[in-house]
Amino acid sequence: MSAIEPDSFAGLRNLGVRSKQMLKTAGILSAEQLQKIGSVAAFFAVQQSNAASKPSLNLLWALEGALSCRDWKDIANDSPTKLVLLMQLDDLKKQTSFTPAHQNSMR
């Protein structure tokens, strides 16, 4: 008989079974890891590792809500918060898509 795996995201709201599975597939295995990297980097990691399922922005709102103890719908309806999150996501995408290979081709 195997031991029951404890919920490593216990205590975080907004995260259902599917969200937790996507986080784990992305290598984010605990609430502590999620807190350390933040909602935007976690969402980006999930997008990269779960490309076939195309996670929606609702996951980003849920992750931010989980870290700030707010309902994901409050995040989704808060335009300034959404704008900041989307700008951070855009910056992260730009940073990771600009590799040394791109630098060489621009010379």
**Measured between alpha carbons, how far is 94 from 90 in angstroms, rounded to an integer?**
6
Q: Three-class SS of residue 14? A: coil
pLDDT of residue 90: 94
The pLDDT tens digits for 58-86 are 999 999 999 999 999 999 999 999 999 99
3-state DSSP call for residue 44? helix
Lowest mean pLDDT segment, chosen from 9-13, 21-25, 48-52, 87-91 = 48-52
Write down the pLDDT at residue 39.
97
Element (H or E) spanning 97, and its range?
helix 79-97
The predicted model scores a pTM of 0.82
Q: What is the pLDDT of residues 10-43, one digit of tens each?
A: 889 999 999 999 999 999 999 999 999 999 999 9
Distance separating alpha carbons of residues 10 and 29, to the nearest angstrom: 12
